[in-house]
Structure 1
């Protein structure tokens, strides 16, 4: 019995030390920064003949999104902070953090609704929001009134 307690105590101490050394994000991935993922896929978003360049993250959800390309979507404005469009199917978000705080130029998925959301203004941390990537420059061409048809494809 004494040996079992000592082994259990050693295991608990080792686990606690590992979490301490790894930092608070190791215990709960809701604080993990998706921007820490290494860039994976370069994409192009065409709006009214203008090509905007973006980079998708090296994440399960972003890879699943890239597998859908090319896509022709129609963006609509949502609450004056983002452009949204329905995707043809749900993305795999199995390894995604529970929430994300979007910044201007972020390409995201709102998992509960299964739609693409491109932020043109920063927003608060939101449960169910999954970062897919970000634009490499200005996104002024996307900020239009009404519906905005776009084409998303992998860059050559």
Structure 2
């Protein structure tokens, strides 16, 4: 298997992204399309809860995501879209990457409905 192209729809903005070929990303692909509320967390990322928790089987115990990464934070069970550097944390799995402009996920107040779906 290779990376899975996805679309992240936030209102009238659509971001192109891809999910990696790893167990956690594949467990998210199995739940797509997904529409859920995301909200800003600490001015660094936006987070949303998938319908069911993603697997962490076979994944490293933590990661240092980069700006533009898509991650999963297992202790809280949330999908994370990173727009700032957060450093290494145990329980993070890097599962994908957003391409291009990240302004659509910055500066949120309250919750925003986000749809993630396959693009292929």
TM category, shorter = over 0.9
1:97 aligns with 2:51: no
RMSD: 1.3
Structure 1 CA distance for aligned equivalents of residues 42 and 69 of structure 2? 16
**TM-score between both structures, scaled by the size of structure 1:** 0.73
1:133 aligns with 2:96: yes
Whose Rg is larger?
1
1:80 aligns with 2:43: yes
Superposed CA offset, 1:110-147 (max 9, x none): 01121111111011100000111010111211222221
Moved over 6 A (4+): none
Structure 2 CA distance for aligned equivalents of residues 39 and 47 of structure 1? 25
**Alignment size in residue pairs:** 119
Higher strand share: 2
Structure 1 residue 103: Cα displacement: 1.2
SS at structure 2 position matched to 1:89: coil
Contact 1:64 1:91 in 2 (8 A): yes
Superposed CA offset, 1:44-97 (max 9, x none): 001111110001111011111101000001111111111011121111111110
**TM-score between both structures, scaled by the size of structure 2:** 0.93
1:62 maps to: 25
1:108 maps to: 71
SS at structure 2 position matched to 1:68: coil
Unaligned runs of 5+ in 2: none
Higher helix share: 1
